[in-house]
Amino acid sequence: MVDINYRLKSEHVFDKILLQEVNTRLKSIVFHIDVNAAFLSWEAVYRLAHKGEKQDLRELASAVGGDVTLRHGIILAKSIPAKDYGIKTGETILEARRKCPDLVLVPPDYHLYEKCSAAFLEILREYSDVVEQYSIDEAFVDMSGSCHLFGSPREVAGQIKDRIREELGFTVNVGISSNKLLAKMASDLQKPDRVHTLYPEEITRKMWPLPVSELFFVGRSTTSKLLSMGIRTIGELAKADPAWLKCMLKKQGEVIWGFANGLDFSPVLRKPMANKGYGNSTTIPFDVTDAETAEQVLLALSETLGNRLRADQVQIRVVSVGIRYADLSYASHQKTLQSATDVTWEIYEAACRLFGELWNGRPIRHLGIHTGQVSGADLGRQLSIFDELDYEKLGRMDQAVDGLRKRFGADALMRAVFLNGPIDHMSGGIAREKCHVDYNESMIREK
């Protein structure tokens, strides 16, 4: 905080008030807003308000989960009553049903979730022009320059929380601190529908007693390593020798030591950072055992991936293919192209070559294409006498197809190879069935 006391010599009451206001404005104030059980809450509100549902999913042992028949059978969100049965986000539906045979399961509707996300972000932007969407159900807000217009940080956080509940029907947690890390940790302290502070002076009391697994960026594998090193709480991690942690955990050791001590210098960003790579993958509803079908999947992934590249006006130079086999083992292979590209067919050709070099003939469960070395699309293309295809012409065709699909829908144009076949012609990302839900089939039936 900048000390401006030397500028304010007068003892006049007005000067004291001015000093207090300026010092308050100079403090860094960051909010983290996290929707409570987002997908399930949004489903519950929509069904109650628009579909005539009689029961609130949030009050039942319920969950949002994928379709087991399409191999999307994991729990995406669960209610508090479901949590009481030990059901966890990310576990399989079969595991969840073993814990709670009467679990109410509803399919996800990502089209609905995108609308709900946009609605709560719109409210946040009424309080600050510096809002960073962290995920579909989380956002950071830099309130440093605007908090004084609405009240104290806790009062403003309460206003935001209550407005979202009253206007949109779902609840959020709001964490308040001086940086993003501590604000995020604060929002997780106790749920739902709460406001929590976690300022640097509160770290030892509120954060250090927590299990080390609760620290941001500490996943299951890192937790196991830390436990084996005798580190069980965030406080023990904070007091550990950072050189020892770096020796044991490499760069991550330094990072999590800093986080345990509340150190984070990343700013709240108005605009998301540019992607360092683009990826697309899909879990196939059946085991693929022949190259022809696998190549159809790669073409469908290339269609979606190429469309994203052109929409963002970027090109890529590195292409990687990943295969997950039926036994869940994984293998990948990559190559660098001669020229950066956003042409669907060129990406597809590279993916097929990589696949041919990588595949060992075993049944395939999941395929993915990932890219790197992203650059702007205005750099031009290095022509080569070895080019067998007119990539400039293919690029113009891609642009025309993108325009038609944007205007008339993704299914307006489809390659003939996908007609009447089992592969979606634009695979990957959010699956089609997760964006269009038949609510007449998924309403809760009273027993």
CATH architecture, range 210-260: Orthogonal Bundle (1.10)
pLDDT of residue 68: 60
Q: Assess whether 303 carries a catalytic annotation.
A: no
CATH architecture, range 29-207: 2-Layer Sandwich (3.30)
* CA–CA dist 8, 11 (Å, integer): 8
* CA–CA dist 88, 109 (Å, integer): 20
* CA–CA dist 346, 394 (Å, integer): 9
Domain ranges of the chain: 29-207, 210-260, 279-416
Please tell me the pTM assigned to this model.
0.81
Distances (CA, A) of 122 to 42, 130, 164, 167, 278: 16, 12, 10, 12, 27
Residue pair 366/328 in contact by the 8 Å Cβ criterion: no
- Residue 141, φ and ψ in degrees, nearest 5: -130, 125
* The CATH number of the domain covering residues in 279-416: 3.30.1490.100
Q: Could you tell me whether strands 62-65 and 314-325 are parallel, antiparallel, or unpaired per DSSP bridges?
A: unpaired
If one counts every other C-beta atom within 10 angstroms of the C-beta of residue 322, the result is 19
Q: Which of 233, 210, 208, 212 is nearest to 221 (CA)?
A: 212
pLDDT of residue 307: 93
pLDDT in tens, the chain (447 residues): 344 443 444 344 434 433 444 444 447 999 999 999 999 999 999 999 999 888 999 999 999 987 665 555 789 999 999 999 999 988 888 899 999 999 999 989 989 999 999 999 999 999 999 999 999 999 999 999 999 999 999 999 999 999 999 999 999 999 999 999 999 999 999 989 999 999 999 999 999 999 999 999 999 899 999 999 999 999 999 999 999 999 999 999 999 999 999 999 999 998 888 888 999 898 888 899 999 999 999 999 999 999 999 999 999 999 999 999 999 899 999 999 988 999 999 999 999 999 999 999 999 999 999 999 999 876 666 666 656 678 788 989 999 999 998 898 888 899 999 888 888 888 776 555 555 666 666 666 554
- Which is catalytic among the residues 43, 91, 132, 138? 138
Distances (CA, A) of 360 to 35, 141, 265, 370: 44, 49, 46, 20
The secondary structure element, H or E, covering residue 30 is strand 30-35
- The one-letter amino acid code at 292 reads E
pLDDT of residue 329: 93
105's CB contacts (< 8 A; 6+ apart) are 62, 63, 64, 65, 93
